[in-house]
A and B are shown apart, each in its own frame.
Chain A
Amino acid sequence: MKRARILMLIAPVAALIFLFIVLPYVTVLMMSFRAPAEGQPYGAGFSVEGYRQFFSQSYYALSLPQTMGLGIVTSLVCLLLGYPVALHIATAPKRWRGLLYGIVLSPLLVGIVVRSYGWTILLGNAGVINTTLRNLGLIERPLPLMYNEFGVVLALAHVFLPFMVLPLLASLQTADPAVRQAARSLGAGRFTVFRRVTLPMSMPGIQSGCILVFVLAISSYVTPALVGGMRVKTTTLLVVDALIDQFQWPFGSAMALTLAVSAGIVVLIFARLTRIRWS
């Protein structure tokens, strides 16, 4: 009787989770093992051709470490840029905090396409930066700011910065200011307090911020496509290419799954390395 009631209560959630999380994964998993075919998305029967195709061609296989690297560097850049911002907001007077919070979030109000396009205007060969530098006579030929990893990381870091700042801010703000005062009274100078108290205490925020940005960065499509101009091959770009342009569903699914599993492994290793035992 009681069990039946509980089952009834969790049934809708269970159905939603199954429908929108489990089922798509199962579908992709199944599709990745279907046989390829000419002229149609997939053929009859099952095979590992999709995976073989991915791992045997360096053009595809090398996109995986490249993507992971891009994600890791983007996370690091966001962390380095975001930490001072979060620290500043967390220690700002209360009346300023709302405004600063809004400024950090404001990029999210502008669509990702617009923001990425904005970067192409800035970074392009005939873009604002290169034109200005050339007019000032500082350079002869345009600097390669776009269509390379540099441009993609820069744009990705900008796009996903709020996702780093928010968790950092959350963990910095939950820290009792008295803890820092206690450290001061025990003889620690400002910098020592930061290194030995503030920074380690914000570890949970660093962890979730890095994971969030990493996952978002490696799976993003618009920014690498626009700013990288298809010259920076990320696995996500190749997946979309295989699924939509080449119409090879098993191959695309195999790549998508390999990407997801690899990302999972990287996240697990990272979580393990930064394990927090105290909370």
Chain B
Amino acid sequence: MTEVSLLSLVKSYGKSTALKGISLDVGHGEFVSLLGPSGCGKSTTLKCIAGFEDVTDGKILFDSKDISRKLPEDRDIGMVFQSYALFPHMTVARNLAFGLEMRRMARSEIADRVARAMDMVQLTPYADRYPKALSGGQQQRVALARALVIEPAILLLDEPLANLDAKLRDEMRGFIRDLQKRVGITTIYVTHDQNEAMTMSDRVVVMFDGEIAQAAPPEDVYDRPASERVARFVGNANILDLAVADQADAETSLSLPGGGRLAVTGGADAPVSRLRVMARPEQIALTGPGEGHIDGRIAKRYFSGGHVEYHVDTDCGTLNVLCPTTQNVAEGANVGLSFDTRRLWPLPGAAHVTAEPAA
């Protein structure tokens, strides 16, 4: 197991800068996801770690040893690509053997390890097939086995599930996660799918425009996002821009449009006049009119099997509310909304953000 440290990594392509100082520590056996919109620099980060790109500035440490100047072949990395990047001219078994041959291992040892790796990803019957003759999911598993069979120091995966259909993707998520835990390998996983990042990772690193916006466990990123942008990227976020009525040490009291008060823990360090707070859709409950914190009218109702999603027009803008299907309200009905006040999250630095209508 290896510890990876990125020290203010900078990567420029000519005039444009893809990475603007990425610093991150990944612990022994940790599963870390890089999450962010397309073009934010996730793949570039991975390519720098793998050695396919030279870093413009900064350092990459494996177990405190600087490897930033090493060639990719000397870094001892297992990598899985979105396109799988299997060797099309080699059978499954030969694909798996390649990395071991490069390590000049004895033939019997190679055969042994390849057999075990194929067993691990349940591909033993396909040993002599060429990649073209395998399904996407099978190719994916070959790619995974090929990266792991060399027992690398760290495992890098770049959107490995993006080309699979939804059902297989869910299956592979669990499969990769279980395998990673079993092998105990330090893993950096790139994805633009927040669900994937949250379900699989020990820690999620949210990136925007070549910078890390937040690095924290999935629960923290979801419940306590570091910024409005993170809040909106990771799941659905209702953001209320409210006037501050009273500001105490640990608690801030906010005035609601209907005249009510809303108490939130935490808030701004300095006295502010307004605060933006985030409430996730499932943290708002529907009540009768006048019974909740604010009143509203159901604008849209979407049934999605497990839940019903309501878009509710209020004086704080249109809010998303997610309810169990047992709670059924028709479009056009007047309702009250009650916030789970313990989970309302005052957005850091939000006092300086000017108000904009919620989505």
A residues contacting B by CB (< 8 A) are 176, 178-179, 181-189, 192, 196-197, 200-201, 203, 276-279
Decide: B50 and A187 in contact? CB cutoff 8 A.
no
Decide: B85 and A182 in contact? CB cutoff 8 A.
yes
Taking the closest CB of chain B, its distance from the CB of A254, in whole angstroms, is 42
Decide: B89 and A203 in contact? CB cutoff 8 A.
yes
12 further contact pairs, Cβ within 8 A, besides A185-B50, A185-B77: A178-B85, A179-B86, A182-B85, A185-B51, A185-B73, A186-B98, A187-B103, A187-B150, A192-B102, A203-B89, A277-B130, A278-B131
B287 within 8 Å of A (CB atoms): no
User: Assuming A178-B81, A189-B71, A278-B132, is B103 touching A183 (CB within 8 A)?
Assistant: no
**A279–B132 alpha-carbon span in the complex (Å):** 7
Decide: A181 and B89 in contact? CB cutoff 8 A.
no
Between A and B, 18 residue pairs with Cβ closer than 8 Å are: A178-B81, A178-B83, A178-B85, A179-B86, A183-B87, A183-B98, A184-B71, A185-B79, A187-B73, A187-B99, A187-B102, A188-B73, A200-B89, A201-B87, A201-B88, A201-B89, A203-B89, A278-B132
Sort A-B residue pairs by CB-CB distance and give the 8 closest, nearest first.
A187-B102, A186-B99, A178-B85, A184-B72, A182-B85, A278-B130, A178-B81, A185-B79
**A184–B79 alpha-carbon span in the complex (Å):** 10
Q: Which residues of A contact B98 (CB under 8 A)?
A: 183, 186, 188, 196
User: Assuming A201-B88, A278-B130, A278-B132, is B102 touching A188 (CB within 8 A)?
Assistant: yes
Taking the closest CB of chain A, its distance from the CB of B51, in whole angstroms, is 8
Decide: A278 and B89 in contact? CB cutoff 8 A.
yes
- Name the CB-closest residue of A to B133: A278
B residues contacting A by CB (< 8 A) are 50-52, 71-73, 75, 77-79, 81-83, 85-90, 98-99, 102-103, 130-132, 146-147, 150
Decide: A179 and B72 in contact? CB cutoff 8 A.
no
**A185–B150 alpha-carbon span in the complex (Å):** 10
Decide: A176 and B85 in contact? CB cutoff 8 A.
yes
Taking the closest CB of chain A, its distance from the CB of B211, in whole angstroms, is 25
Decide: B83 and A185 in contact? CB cutoff 8 A.
no
User: Assuming A186-B99, A188-B73, A192-B102, is B83 touching A181 (CB within 8 A)?
Assistant: no
Q: Which residues of B contact A196 (CB under 8 A)?
A: 98
**A87–B341 alpha-carbon span in the complex (Å):** 63
Decide: A186 and B146 in contact? CB cutoff 8 A.
yes
Q: Which residues of A contact B73 (CB under 8 A)?
A: 184-189
**A197–B147 alpha-carbon span in the complex (Å):** 17
- Name the CB-closest residue of A to B80: A182
Decide: A197 and B85 in contact? CB cutoff 8 A.
no
Taking the closest CB of chain A, its distance from the CB of B63, in whole angstroms, is 18
**A220–B210 alpha-carbon span in the complex (Å):** 58
Decide: A181 and B50 in contact? CB cutoff 8 A.
yes
Q: Tell which of A182, A197, A200 has the most Cβ of chain B within 10 Å.
A: A182
Q: Which of B83, B86, B88, B99 contacts A279 (CB 8 A)?
A: B88
**A196–B95 alpha-carbon span in the complex (Å):** 11
Taking the closest CB of chain B, its distance from the CB of A219, in whole angstroms, is 32
